[in-house]
Structure 1
């Protein structure tokens, strides 16, 4: 089977986990399932993609600024020219590769006309929805309402229903794979539905064997090393971890509390905010700011820390959270999005409310004060991580793609 992947970014040009996941799926669909792989992407980032068994075409142009974080600032005529060039690049890629199916991952930085051109293409199209990119194209007002009322407000995500959302079922030849049930519910609430869709939880490469940790009771004089790993941007909630650190030092001064913040720090305004919170609380010297690490380095990172905190305000489905469970590190996550599909509160980890530094502090102290809880969470977390293997995910995606091609013929 010939598969054309379409993605705004593709390794080695990447800024987050979805690009790495896209590359992983493409690589294994070729190596393990025998499919021919072509990729249509942009050259944003400036590095040339050259992967064994893949034909990568970097002919798309993103409607962004100097980086993908910057807004496009060109004149309207230039915008229209780029949009037309991207549609032409899509048609050219389809003609050159003659795919049996198109697997579309993320079109952020492109536009709705490009997605609509996909819907008119001859091969069936499968969209991989791990975040809100398509909903933002179709009905940005609905997505904006969600972020105002749920992510940055007090409304519950399960009660969210966008007012005035476009009730639009996508073209019959377009099906969806959702990386989490949360994403399926989110799209439905925003009025974007599909004749065929499926939830396939994202997965990671798990270690061949994981050994749960065995902890002694934490006492005064001990050093407790907390870890956050993710982009240092507001929506990932690292500020909640910093605020919790201040509270922990006040409530349990006999313990030497430390916090590592590991992630992309290109959002300099947010980085200054984090440093400001820490400086005002007198704990800047207790925080270690580190650069992102590759997935294969994560086990060593987790092994050098005592607890993993994941305080996102919005989180479709975190691969790093799965890596944390697999490592055996006791894990605490905000009760949002796909986190609740990974963590079972009190069983495989602890959940707290988003943005609630007091709640995170209480959860950490619960781990410290409850005999046997750390060891129980470690043991059950390791077992739960096996549900989210890379092999299971790719096999399910392969079956979905084959089904789409079979239905077409």
Structure 2
């Protein structure tokens, strides 16, 4: 009988976090049980074979004068669960018969670790916003620092998260394991070829928000498009900047070559990448946010697209400048435009970088990454929980 592992997320079904479902489906040696507090409004379809359970109490305990005052003073207790939430978590873990718990994002790990108190092995897998933006909150930062020594194993998806957490008491029980992307889905076809008479297509996939630099990517495209009538730009995703991006595209002199496809299911994302020729990701540091790893970069690389991305956070773990793509400094639209032009004008360079991008992506195949994570979970179960 396989060990049962609870996979905990605050909000289930967020389209940009489809890698959580992939991970659960790829587990071979453990049986995953998805635990969550809230279902996303535009949730992706949850595969029928996955067991799901919803906590009965809210993710955030009710606000109170004491909690607000404690947060202003930077007390860790201000962001930790109240007794009702702790009981709910313990009841759910016991009822589900779990042998270990995998918490995605530090904000999910905090209440679970506080509630279980060492009775069940707890593994955290941290990503981006949870160890960048949120760490500017002194109470949250202190709570993470207090919890880290009690975590049975800490998994970071990039080296920058590991370096950020090191001063807070990172233990030897830690690993860098990116989420990756399924090569079986994205590397199925031949490397893309730019055929005469067809547009050269730049593709950007991700949340339409300031930190993803979508307006900057549009500006870079506008700089090179007038002299290259055969190029176009495709955005896939949704977010707070969608209306702004739509308005900017509508005002553009090259508006007929800018396409906003909105949210799309994974098969459409995969087919759009296969029809593309180069991938753009202009991630920026906004309000302390830093890109965690960039799963869409892995997906695009597996599809055979060279990567044009900003030098930020976990991006540098997979984009090798001059080999599988180009890196530029966040906010440097002029350099981004120059690099885009190089790829659009040099088919041989683009094809070589695309081939290299697929080879690099192979090292981040989600099945390999999930296998490594699974071994961490099995070792934590065999070792038993960290004693407080």
TM-score by length of 1: 0.77
Distance 1:395 1:311 in 2: 30
CA contact (8 A) 2:205 2:235 kept: yes
Give deviations 1:329-377, integer Å, cap 9, x for gaps: 2321111111111111111111111111101111012223446211111
Instruction: Give, in whole Å, the separation in 1 of the partners of 2:238 and 2:245.
Output: 13
Residues 368 and 178 of structure 1: is their aligned pair in 2 closer, same or farther, counting only changes over 3 Å?
A: same
CA distance in 2, matches of 1:242, 1:318: 19
1:306: which partner in 2? 277
For the Cα contact (< 8 Å) 2:103–2:109, is it kept in 1? no
Q: State how many pairs are aligned.
A: 364
Distance 2:94 2:57 in 1: 16
Partner of 2:287: none
2:253 is matched with which residue?
282
Alignment equivalent of 2:322, drawn from 331, 346, 349: 346
Shift of 1:199: 0.7
Instruction: Tell me the alpha carbon deviations over residues 122-153 of structure 1, each in whole angstroms, 9 at most, x when there is no partner.
Output: 01110011124256666625999xxxxxxxxx
Contact (CA 8 Å) 2:155, 2:177: kept in 1 or not? yes
Answer whether contact 1:6 1:105 (CA < 8 A) is retained. Answer: yes
Secondary structure at 2:312 match in 1: coil
After superposition, the CA RMSD in angstroms is 3.4
User: Does structure 1 residue 264 correspond to structure 2 residue 238?
Assistant: yes
Report deviation, 1:322. Answer: 0.8
- 8 A Cα contact 2:34 2:50, kept in partner: no
1:105 Cα deviation (Å)? 0.9
Q: Please state if 1:56 is matched with 2:58.
A: no
Deviation at 1:326, TM superposition (A): 1.1
Query: Which residue does the alignment assign to 1:359?
Result: 335
1:200 is aligned to 177
- C-alpha change, 1:366 and 1:57, in structure 2 (3 Å) is same
Corresponding position of 1:180: 158
Post-superposition offset of 1:302:
1.5
Aligned-pair CA distance for 1:59: 2.6
| Match runs of 1:313-328 below 5 Å | 313=284, 314-328=290-304
CA distance in 2, matches of 1:279, 1:143: 41
User: Aligned-pair distance for 1:100?
Assistant: 1.9
Give the deviation of 1:85 after TM superposition. Answer: 3.5
Check if 1:123 corresponds to 2:94.
no
The one-character-per-residue Cα deviations of 1:81-110 (angstroms, maximum 9, x if unpaired) are: 9844432210111221332211111364x7
Measured at CA, do residues 203 and 51 of structure 1 come closer, stay the same or move farther in structure 2, by a change above 3 Å? same
| Deviation by residue 1:271-292 (Cα, 9 ceiling, x = unmatched) | 3433454455433343211112
From the superposition, tell whether residues 167 and 3 of structure 1 become closer, same or farther in structure 2 (CA, over 3 Å).
Answer: closer
Q: Contact 1:211–1:382 (CA<8 Å) still a contact in 2?
A: no
The 3 A distance-change label for structure 1 pair 83 and 106 is farther
Shift of 1:195: 4.2
Residues 1:312 and 1:91: Cα distance change in structure 2 (over 3 Å): same
Higher relative CO (CA 8 A, sep ≥ 6), structure 1 or 2?
A: 2
Asked if 1:28 is matched to 2:2, the reply is: no
Q: Which residue of 1 aligns with 2:93?
A: 94
Pair 1:296-2:267 in alignment: yes
Gapped runs of 5+ residues in structure 2?
69-77, 285-289
TM-score by length of 2: 0.81
Contact 1:119 1:171 in 2 (8 A): no
Q: 1 CA distance for matches of 2:146 and 2:263?
A: 39
1:116 Cα deviation after fit: 4.8
Q: 5+ residue gaps in structure 1? A: 65-71, 145-163
Does structure 2 conserve the Cα–Cα contact (< 8 Å) formed by 1:131 and 1:316? yes
Aligned pair 1:212/2:179, yes or no?
A: no
Question: Does residue 1:385 correspond to 2:361, yes or no?
Answer: yes
Q: Distance in 2 between matches of 1:90 and 1:169?
A: 17
1:43 and 2:38 correspond: yes
Matched, 1:133 2:130: yes
Structure 1 SS opposite 2:98: coil
Once residues 84 and 165 of structure 1 are traced to their aligned partners in structure 2, the CA distance between those partners, rounded to angstroms, is 16
Pairwise CA distance, 1:57? 3.0
Distance 1:143 1:346 in 2: 39
**Following TM superposition, by how much is the alpha carbon of 1:206 offset from its aligned partner in structure 2, in angstroms?**
0.9
